[in-house]
Each structure stands twice: as structure tokens, then as C-alpha cells.
Chains A and B, each alone.
Chain A
Amino acid sequence: MKTELRASTTTSLSLQNHNLFTSPQGSLAGALKGCLGSLDGACIEKLLLHCASALESNDITLAQQVMWVLNNVASSLGDPNQRLTSWFLRALISRASRVCPTALNLNGNGFVQRRLMSVTELAEYVDLIPWHRFGYSASNSAIFKAIEGFSKVHILDFSITHCMQWPTLIDALAKRPEGPPSLRITVPSFRPQVPPLLNVSCEEVGLRLGNFSKFRQVPFEFNVIGNSSSFSSSSTSSTSETTIMSEESSSLFPFEVLLSQLNPSSLNLQEDEALVINFQNWLRYLCDEPNVEIYEGASLRDTFLNTIKSLNPRVVVVVDEDSDLSASSLTSRITTCFNYLWIPFDALETFLAKDSPHRIEFEADIGHKIENIIGFEGFQRIERLESGLMLSQRMKNAGFFSIPFGEDTVGEVKALLDEHASGWGMKREEDNNMLVLTWKGHNSVFATAWVPTNGGSLED
């Protein structure tokens, strides 16, 4: 492979005059111009961008040089910028190596392998910072309100944190003045291969939830769908159906398989049940590119939402991180990613020691995300996060309208954040009825609640 000079990046560099490096593109000088003596965040960002564009234009030399410089900045035990840089660098290397794809690179996993946690470890993990708990609290509160008056509740749970959200809801339901409803939770068998990872199956998680519910005397049922082998259930009373899907298709197109199961009969929807859909850090894994062949021009994401709408849910809660990280341009993704992910890194820096294993683990998980966003393209780039604003627009397009969070919800979330000391805040975006977790004023995580328009209720 030869290195080719791309006109766009380097012909503007004329060495006749020393002003040549005023062009910000295509040169290390441009990268470092203006940041002599201190490699601050803006500088690092520039370096990252230069590295990316060097890779894209096959300028191996420049890429290597920049990586070298970055490597000297990066430190997994340094300050947040340094730590973040080390993950970005890893992602760029991952990307570079994929120029010669090998069998190792076919999944979107890159080089970062994560250990598997136990359920109790995961329970600790989600509470390190309010990053996840914020969403749980807001969602559970909205759900609690939406199912008022119902004696049967069915939650379709799409999340990556393995049901950590539910104990507090079960607890709240147990204390309901009119008595707890019977609760049914259904999860898909497929889960994107992203951290946090558990060392037990989702059935096992369901078992534990079942134990807990029994302990709190909440009738409970747990189901797994989308499995090629079964519609399995681990509860005391249940109806079970076997869904037969080909193994092959379920492994290649798991979301599509799942989609095919989102119908009243496969889900065993009941008329008198309040159906709740919970999207927690999930929608981002559905492809957002329009697909003419399969979905008539819509994207999988939109189709999924439409299908959900057709199930006539009582409420749909959507929680995710508030940033647009799925632009098609790599440089745009790098910029946005770098400027967004410093937020959790900074938060962790404030509360945990530099060598705290929990912190390192949390950061590694973010690093895994970075690696996918920066290092991969096409179907392997599974992280396609969109911001609250964009997501809200998408929900509206799919035929939902947003419902506001009540004052008691807001109060609960505030109380939660108070316990986590300063720095964490919350704001309400009135236009979208969004609650947003903020760190030092910067948007981190958003929470929204929706109902289908013209949905009516389950009674009709």
C-alpha cells in the first residue's frame, strides 16, 4: 500500500514560505499551533482529528507521528483528559488496524475485552455515579404514575444494564396503597455485546428478581423473547409459547428477529394489562440508516418504534445519553465524542481515586464505546447514539407525544442527586418534557416519557 498525498490535505502546504503551517489541516504543526506548552483539551482534540484525517487519507506517516504525540499525552492513570486520550488513541489504532481486516475484527468488539461481573457487582457499578440511577429513578417514577389503577403490569424491558432498574420499582409497587399489581417483565434474549457484562444469564437475573418480588409479595413473572429456542419463562404461573426461529438468522440479525416477535401473540399481551416499554440506553443500537429493501426506506430504528406504537403501550420511557454520536463523518464523531465523554471522566475524577478499580472499569466501558464509535464503520459500528433532541423528534415522527414528569418525580430525582453531592444537577427541558442529568451544567443523560397519539387505552 502506498501512501498517497491527497491534494486536499497537503498541496496547500508550500514550503516556500513559513506560513505554510497556517493551514490547520494535514500537518502536525497545524495540530499544535496555538497550544505551545500546554496540551489542553482543545489541543488534544485537534490532534485526534489530525490523526483521523491522516488515517482517512492514508497518510500513514502523519498518523504515526500524531499517534506518537498522543501516546505521550495519554495515560490511563492521569487526569481525565489523559485518560480519555488513551481510550481514543486505542480506538484510532483499532481503526488503523482494520485497514487490513482479519477474522479477529469481524465483530464490533475491537480489542477491549471486558470482564464479566456478578449481579451484586453490577448493582454496585450502576451506583458509582448517578449516571444510570438518574434514568432509573425518572423512568420508574413515570411508570409508577402511568400504571395507576391497573392491577396487571407488563414491562417490555430493553436495556443494557440487566434489570438493575427494577428492584426499586418492585419496592415501590409493593408499597402501593391499593396493593401491588402483578408484574410481568419481558426481556429480549439478545443484548448488544457491550459492557457492562454479566457472568450469568438473563434467566438467572430473572430468577433473582422473582425471589425479590416474592419476598416483597409482588406477583411476578419473567419472560425472555427472541430466543431461537423458546419463549421461556421462569415464574410460578405463566403461559408459554414456543417460537421457532432459525438459529442462523437470529445470530446475524438479532434485532430483526426480535422485531418479528413484537406482536401481541408472541408477547402474550393481555387486554387488562398496562403495557410499559422501557428503553434504557438501547435505541442507539438500532440501525438508523434508511433501508430501502427491508423497511421501505425507513430505518430499523423507526420501524422498531412504529411496531412498538402498534402494541398500544400505556407509556414508553426512553433514557439515553445526550449526545449525537452517529454522524457519518469520522472527524465530527471524534469531536463530539471527545467533548461529551469528558463529562463522565470528569465526574469520576471528582469522586474516585485515580487508581480506583471501579473507576478504571467504568472508564474502560466508556472506552469500549469510544472504540466502537471511532474504530468501526458500517454494520460493525453499533453505537449510534442520538441526542435527546433528535430522539424526541424521532419519537414524534413515529407518532408519540411526550408527557411531562410530575413534580413528585422531579422531587425524587432531586433528592437522589442531592445525595450525590454537588456537581450533579438536573434540568427540565420544557419543550420536550425532558429531564436531563447535568454534570457541572453539561448535559449528560436525558429521560423522556411518551404515549402513542391516538392510542387510546387498552380498554378499546
Chain B
Amino acid sequence: MPTELDNSSTASGEASVSSSGNQTAPPKSTAKKKRNLPGMPDPDAEVIALSPKTLMATNRFICEICNKGFQRDQNLQLHRRGHNLPWKLRQRSSKEVKKRVYVCPEASCVHHDPSRALGDLTGIKKHFCRKHGEKKWKCDKCSKKYAVQSDWKAHSKICGTREYKCDCGTLFSRRDSFITHRAFCDALAEESARTQNPPQTQNQAQAQTAGNTNSEPDGKAQTGNSSPPPQVVAAQQPPAPALPPPPAPAPASAASQSTGVLPSSLPIQTPDLPENPNPPRILEEAPAATGLNGNSNCSTSSSSNGSTSSSVFASLFASSTASANLQPSQPPAFTDLIRAMSRPDRQADLAPCSSMEPISLGLSTNHGSSIFGTTGPERRQYAPPPQPAMSATALLQKAAQMGAAATNASLLRGLGIVSSSSTSGHQDNMHWNQRQVDPDSSSVPAGLGLSLPDGNSGLKELMMGTPSMFGPKQTTLDFLGLGMAAGGSPSGGLSALITSIGGGLDVAAAAASFGGGEFSGKDIGRSS
């Protein structure tokens, strides 16, 4: 008899990691009882990693007499009783048993991370099947396929059973959704506006019968006799209307947006409006062709993949790059940025946006996309967050190269955080070696920018650095927040960093020459 899946060491020899949770700070917990914090498995829980084969297997427990298969050992044991075989049921163990959580074996999956482990075996099995398994269950009525049988069943129950139809024409498969919609639908509002008409009485009579019985189709009872409601785009139309919400309420919402966010006493929407939002049915999503949408309307120069990976800072730098290069004075930059910051939301509203250049923070040379290249994994599920090309190490290096050379690269400066030292403005376009920072002045501006020679001259060069690149005694803060000693490469910290985390670049060798005793204790803690 196969061993139970529940044991941490199974026949297939999966290892079990004994402690989950590698969070830096244990979450604050004032709960007296032993209770998992929401979203996080018990830090003491045992993390179990099962193999794909194990997870996909069903009916692994086979009766030796009749070969009947069972998903659980308990069920098998009960069955064995029927054969008059010895049986044992594992007793429900006492509370002292360690809680177990399960991780997904798929490395790229979010549930591979112990902090996202799932709490029960069934859950992880279903997840694995659903996400990484083959979809072998197909709905008869529509073309949807499912990997997990219960999902398929759930879908089959509702597929094609849209028996609730509102007067406005929208179909619903769930009664509560239908009721809620109906209560607020304009069609009802108009109907009640005609209270004095005979049709209304008829409606009420119908409603009464519908209301008093437990029958479902209120909608059906109604559609027959209400006067033809303003007409609707049939709910079944193919998802052509791209983004129904914006076109219609856009005018209203655009106006409202500027006036703030309180529910205002706007007049009731015109009857036309409900027709537009309705087509996207609750249970289905019209795969809007326009994606994150504003971009299709935008005239961006770098719309390729950048548009899909529109970073938070995209519009931030759009405004700054748009306005030439230097913006020595802060207030304009600040307002620009504030304005720019609000744009991404308009974008979410799918209003056409002005120049959107998704530029990564600090690297103006890298137009278009983040270092990642295509981070728009629309077609992929669970795309690994960083692409293979850019490991954490590489990101770090890039971060170190990030310089003030990028226009208004200093996000924080633009946001008004930096000191108002007048030299700060000039720093933007100057390379490290040109910076005229005296050792004791505000180190922030310089600290904000590590050098970025135009065009990303090789990392190696940066690392090695011709001595002229780095001014002497730049007591500026490198990105680690450490003071720089004389002749120290600004990336000395970086090199040591890379060494310590074992980055696989030969930079490490080069960096080693910079490491070590270049930094004196007095630089650390310097609060210039």
C-alpha cells in the first residue's frame, strides 16, 4: 500500500524544508491564539514540496482486493472494511501536530515561494493541475477547457444557463447578481416612472406572482410585458466594444475627476449609458484588444514592448524628457511630476494620454522598456518576474550605474526632497567626474547619481574606472550610503557587494582591487 501523501518524506523522496518564511521581520502578531496571520502561513509550519507526479496523481490508494482507487487513504481504509480486511484509520491528531503547508514544484510559480505556500493538500493539487497541468476537461456547450474537474463541473453548471434577463437585456447566470443589477438598473427606474399605466399594474401582478413563488426567473416574467426598453446592444455581441466603460461615462467621469472624488449629485444617467457598460458580462471578460489601453491612443515613440510594461515612472519621465533636459529649478519639475503622476491613472481610465514614454528610472538611454525587455507577459501565466536575462546581480549593477545623467534622473529631487542647494540643478547632466562637490557640502545631490557615462559604456570600464573618472576625495555617498574615500571608485561598494553575493562577472576580480582598505571608518557615519 502506498504510503500516505501526507508524510513529509514520501516514497518519491521529496525533501521537506523545515521552516518556511524567510521574511526579514516576523510580522507583528498580537494574537493570543495560535492563528495564522492572513496571507502568510504559520512561520513554524512545515513546508512540504511534492513532486508534480504526486500532485497530479489521483486515486493513488488502491485496494488490493478489487483495485478500486481512492484519493485518500482514509477512504481506502473505510473501503477495506468492506472486504473484511484489517483497517486502520489515522486518528485526527491532536493540535500539537505541526501545521503543514505545501509549495508548488514549478519554479516559476508564485506558490513556489514558501511564503506563498498553500495550506492544504487539496489546494496545492488543484492549483498545480489548474495552472501547470493539462486541461483535459472540456465544456460541452462552450469551448472552455479546464484542468481541474471540479472547475469544469462548476462551469458546466452555469454555462448556458443564463436564465435571468434584465429588461435592459443583460443576461445573468447568478440570481444575486441579477437581483442587484435589476435593483439599480435604469430600466426599472423608467418602468416605475410609468406607475400610472396599466402595464405597471400588470407588472406588479406579475411581480407578485413571481415574488411569492420561489421561482427564479423574475426576469423572464418581466420581459414579456414591459414596454420595450431602450435598446441594447445585445449582451451576446462579441467583445468588439473595446472598453465599454470609458466611452460612455468618460465625459462624465472626466469632468468629475477634476472636481474631486465625492459622489456628486449628478443627474441620472441618460438611458443610453447602461447599454454600454452592460455588454461586458459579469462572468466573462471581453479581452479588450487595447490592453492597457491608453497606449494605443498614444503617440509614443517607444511603444513597442514598453507600452505593455508601462512603469510607474513612465509618465514621470515623459514630462521631464519632454521638456528638454535641464530643469534646474525644482518647482516646475515638482509640479510636472505631480501632474505626471496623476496621468497613469487616467491611463487606467483609458483616456487618451499624452506622450507616454515608459522609461526606466534613471536610464534615459534605455528607451522603451525596462531592462527586462518584454515584461508584458500577457500571454503567459505566471511569467517569472524578472526575465532570465537580468538576474538580481545584474539589476544591482545597473542600479549602481544609474546616474544623474539621465534627465531629472533624480526622482526624489524632482519630488522636492533634495536639499535646495543651488548646485543640485547642475548635477543632472554632469558626470561623476565633473561634479564639483566639496567634501563637506550636501552630499545628497552627488549621492543621487552614480555615474552613468553616456550609453552604458561597459560595466567593466566603469568598474575599473580610469582614475580620472573619479575625482579624488569625493566624499559622496555611493548607493550604499557610504562615504567614499580618496580614490575610491564610486562603485567600490558595489564591487564588494558583487563579490559578496558571488556575482558571476569578472568584475569581481577587478573590483577586488578597489575593495578592502579603501574605506575608513570615519567615512562611515559621516553625515555630511
Contact = CB atoms under 8 A, between A and B. Distances in A.
B199 interface: no
Interface residues of A, number: 168
Interface in A162-179: 162, 164, 166-168, 170-171, 174-175
- Tell me what chain B mostly uses at the interface: helix, strand, loop, or mixed: loop
Interface string B264-290: 111011000110011010100101101
B189 A208 contact: yes
Contacts, number: 510
A118 B360 CA distance: 36
B38 A121 contact: no
B188 A352 contact: no
Contacts of B392: 32, 35-39, 43
B33 A431 contact: yes
Contacts of B290: 355
A441 B391 contact: no
Among the interface residues B402, B443, B501, B518, which one has the most CB atoms of the partner chain A within 10 A?
B501
A72 interface: yes
Interface string A72-89: 111111111110001001
A422 B130 contact: yes
A29 B492 CA distance: 13
Interface in A110-147: 111-124, 126-128, 133, 136-137
Contact of B447 (A61, A76, A82, A167): A61
B39 A340 contact: yes
A69 interface: yes
Contact of B28 (A40, A115, A332, A444): A332
Interface stretch (A148-156, A289-297, A359-367, A395-403): A359-367
A209 B362 CA distance: 52
A456 interface: no
B23 A77 contact: no
B327 interface: no
B112 A40 contact: yes
B24 interface: yes
B465 interface: no
Contact of B35 (A69, A102, A175, A389): A389
A93 B376 CA distance: 23
A19 B500 contact: yes
Nearest to A128: B282
Interface string B7-28: 0000000000000001111011
B40 interface: yes
A89 B360 CA distance: 13
B288 A97 contact: no
Contacts of B412: 60, 63-64, 96
Interface string A325-349: 0010101100110011111001001
Interface residues of B, number: 170
Given A109-B261, A216-B207, A422-B154, A117 B288 contact: no
B215 to A, nearest CB: 10
Interface string A12-55: 01111011111010111100111111111111111001000010
B323 interface: no
A40 B113 contact: yes
Nearest to B263: A198
A419 B154 contact: yes
Interface stretch (B90-98, B132-140, B430-438, B478-486): B478-486
Interface stretch (A3-11, A240-248, A271-279, A299-307): A3-11
B354 interface: no
A252 interface: no
B507 interface: no
B386 A116 contact: no
A215 interface: yes
Contacts of A354: 377-378
Nearest to B378: A354
Contact of A81 (B35, B110, B157, B334): B110
Interface stretch (B56-64, B66-74, B308-316, B455-463): B308-316
B233 interface: no
B119 A79 contact: no
B269 A118 contact: yes
A199 B256 CA distance: 8
Contact of B292 (A43, A100, A352, A360): A360
A358 interface: yes
A335 B287 CA distance: 33
B274 A356 contact: no
B388 to A, nearest CB: 8
Contact of A200 (B116, B265, B417): B265
Contact of B182 (A64, A102, A212): A212
A73 B444 contact: no
Interface stretch (B46-54, B79-87, B343-351, B466-474): B343-351
Contact of B24 (A45, A78, A112, A166): A45
Contact of A71 (B38, B39, B112, B370): B370
A20 B500 contact: yes
Among the interface residues A22, A65, A121, which one has the most CB atoms of the partner chain B within 10 A?
A65
A379 to B, nearest CB: 18
Contacts of B181: 120, 123-124
A127 B285 CA distance: 13
A353 B285 contact: yes
B180 A164 contact: yes
Contact of A355 (B378, B381, B480): B378
A201 interface: yes
B525 A11 contact: yes
A96 B337 CA distance: 13
A384 interface: no
A336 B28 contact: yes
Contacts of B444: 1-3, 60-61
Given A75-B376, A168-B179, A389-B35, A67 B25 contact: no
Contact of A97 (B182, B415, B517): B415
B521 interface: yes
A71 B396 contact: no
Interface in B289-313: 290-293, 308-313
Contacts of A39: 385-386, 392, 395
A90 B316 CA distance: 11
A10 B33 CA distance: 37
Nearest to A363: B348
Interface string B178-198: 011111111011011000000
B116 A41 contact: yes
A115 B154 CA distance: 33
A77 B447 contact: no
B277 A361 contact: no
B273 to A, nearest CB: 6
Contacts of B189: 207-208, 211
A331 B25 contact: yes
A166 B290 CA distance: 35
Given A34-B22, A133-B176, A115 B349 contact: yes
B252 A199 contact: yes
A207 B192 CA distance: 11
B214 interface: yes
A357 interface: yes
A262 interface: no
Contact of A441 (B119, B154, B362, B399): B119
Nearest to B345: A113
B276 to A, nearest CB: 10
A203 to B, nearest CB: 7
28 contacts: A2-B419, A5-B477, A16-B519, A24-B24, A29-B396, A29-B480, A36-B391, A36-B501, A37-B392, A39-B386, A41-B115, A44-B385, A46-B24, A49-B24, A49-B25, A61-B447, A64-B412, A68-B362, A71-B312, A111-B342, A115-B249, A115-B257, A167-B184, A197-B261, A335-B24, A356-B287, A387-B37, A419-B174
Given A5-B527, A41-B113, A137-B176, 4 more contacts: A5-B525, A75-B309, A121-B277, A357-B246
Q: Which 10 A-B pairs have the closest CB atoms?
A: A441-B119, A167-B183, A100-B416, A212-B183, A340-B39, A119-B184, A97-B415, A29-B497, A115-B253, A339-B39
